[in-house]
Amino acid sequence: MATEKKKTSQVVKYNKWGYIFLIPFVVVYLIFQMIPLISTIYNSFFENYMSGLKQIGPTWVGLQNYITIFQNGDVPKYFGNTMVMWIAGFIPQIVLSLLLAAWFADTRLRVKASGFFKTVIYMPNLIMASAFAMLFFTLFSETGPINSLLIQMGMIDTPYKFLSHVVSARSLVAFMNCLMWFGNTTILLMAGMMGIDNALFEAAQVDGATSTQVFFRITLPLLRPILLFVMITSLIGGLQMFDVPQILTNGEGTPMRQSMTMIMYLNKHLFSKNYGMAGAMSVFLFIITGILSLIVFKFSTSESND
């Protein structure tokens, strides 16, 4: 009895260290994440901006900022731009990644040098997005090498202004996003495919299934949870799209703000100290990403309970 009691108090004595070790995280999180979040939400209800050198507000306006950013078409437009560029990059990205992951994981195909290929396709993910965008800007500029190449090959007569046309500007952003992320997605999907019981593939082989049938009837359905995870995390990442279009278009979202993303808009308001609008935009983004992360969260916790 006595020893047991002593043991419990010992354990309790140890367990207080759980709280002690959590102090740095909790303190830093509260100061640099929680307070800013509350302050952002609070600021979204105030009219607060610079008109020339004159400070307007802060005045309590309730939901007026939210109504404004939706009614003047800013949020719908930039949300639309962001989604179009995300989808245009994500579709080729997921198709390529599925294909590559299936090949890498296929024991019969035995792709040689797969380590080399994985290293190469993952590399763009680590490159500084702003430097990569600057590189693409110079390469695709009017006097840049891509235009010179196209002219030397006789495909065009005058330099093509990639950033002056909606389709080419958005395609460049989508292409860069795809290039930067398909390696990452491939590795995630491959990890998922490795987790599938090999006996299923063997059984399918014995039954005479073709590799296409195996892919669509076995691999894809079993991969669905990971595909969902990849899609939603990529969507959350897509909503934060900033560096690439910001540097590529010098923050202007050329042409005619058709490649302007939501975070670029937020960034603009933060720099011009239009805090009311910036706050409303932030809260809108917070709600969307919150809902999406909740789905990911539900999904990953339910999986661990299995």
Partner 1 sequence: MPNEEYNDVEGGLGIIARRVIAYIVLILLTFLCLFWFYLLFINSTRSHAELNRGFTLMPSKYLVQNFNNVIHGTQPIMTGMRNSFLVAALCAILSTYFSAMTAYAIHVYDFKAKKAIFTFILAVMMIPTQVTALGFIKLIGNLKLMNSFIPLIVPSIAAPATFYYMKQYMESALPHAIVEAARIDGSSEWRTFNTISLPIMKPAIAVQMIFTFVANWNNYFTPALVLSKDNMKTLPILIAQLRAADFLKFDMGQVYVTIALSIAPVIIVYLFLSRSIVGGVAVGSVKG
Phi, psi of 250 (to 5 degrees): 55, 35
Q: Distance of CA 167 to CAs 96, 109, 276, Å?
A: 22, 38, 32
Q: Distance of CA 19 to CAs 27, 33, 162, 169, 235, Å?
A: 12, 20, 56, 51, 35
Residues 7-26 interacting with partner 1 (rule: CB under 8 A): 11, 14-22, 24-26
Find residue 243's DSSP bridge partners. none
* Calpha distance 223→231 (Å, rounded): 12
Residues 160-189 interacting with partner 1 (rule: CB under 8 A): 179, 183-184, 187-188
Among residues 7, 29, 87, 197, the one that binds partner 1 under rule CB under 8 A: 29
Query: Considering only CA atoms, which of 277, 284, 248 is closest in space to residue 72?
Result: 277
Q: Residue 51: in which H helix or E strand, if any?
A: strand 46-51
Token code pair at residue 254: 């050329």
Task: Determine, following the binding rule CB under 8 A, whether residue 60 of this chain makes contact with partner 1.
Answer: no
Task: Determine, following the binding rule CB under 8 A, whether residue 62 of this chain makes contact with partner 1.
Answer: no
Among residues 8, 59, 205, 302, the one that binds partner 1 under rule CB under 8 A: 205
Among residues 64, 68, 130, 171, the one that binds partner 1 under rule CB under 8 A: 130
Find residue 47's DSSP bridge partners. 59
Interacting stretch for partner 1, rule CB under 8 A, among 74-82, 83-91, 138-146, 158-166?
138-146
Residues 264-283 interacting with partner 1 (rule: CB under 8 A): 266-267, 270-271, 275, 278-279, 282-283
Number of residues lying near partner 1 (CB under 8 A): 117
Task: Determine, following the binding rule CB under 8 A, whether residue 40 of this chain makes contact with partner 1.
Answer: yes
Find residue 55's DSSP bridge partners. 50
Among residues 139, 167, 220, 256, the one that binds partner 1 under rule CB under 8 A: 139
DSSP, res 55: E
Among residues 148, 164, 272, 302, the one that binds partner 1 under rule CB under 8 A: 148
* Calpha distance 144→255 (Å, rounded): 19
Exposure letters 142-155 (e unless 16+ CB within 10 A, then b): eebeebeeeeeeee
Among residues 145, 164, 197, 220, the one that binds partner 1 under rule CB under 8 A: 145
Task: Determine, following the binding rule CB under 8 A, whether residue 156 of this chain makes contact with partner 1.
Answer: no
* Calpha distance 8→14 (Å, rounded): 10
Interacting stretch for partner 1, rule CB under 8 A, among 51-59, 82-90, 136-144, 154-162?
136-144
One character per residue 229-268, x = contact with partner 1 (rule: CB under 8 A): x---x--x--xx-xx--xx--xx-----------x--xx-
Task: Determine, following the binding rule CB under 8 A, whether residue 90 of this chain makes contact with partner 1.
Answer: no
* Calpha distance 240→188 (Å, rounded): 20
Among residues 120, 156, 220, 256, the one that binds partner 1 under rule CB under 8 A: 120
Task: Determine, following the binding rule CB under 8 A, whether residue 197 of this chain makes contact with partner 1.
Answer: no
One character per residue 98-117, x = contact with partner 1 (rule: CB under 8 A): -xx--x----xxxx---x-x
Whether 164 and 137 have beta carbons less than 8 Å apart is answered as no
Task: Determine, following the binding rule CB under 8 A, whether residue 136 of this chain makes contact with partner 1.
Answer: yes
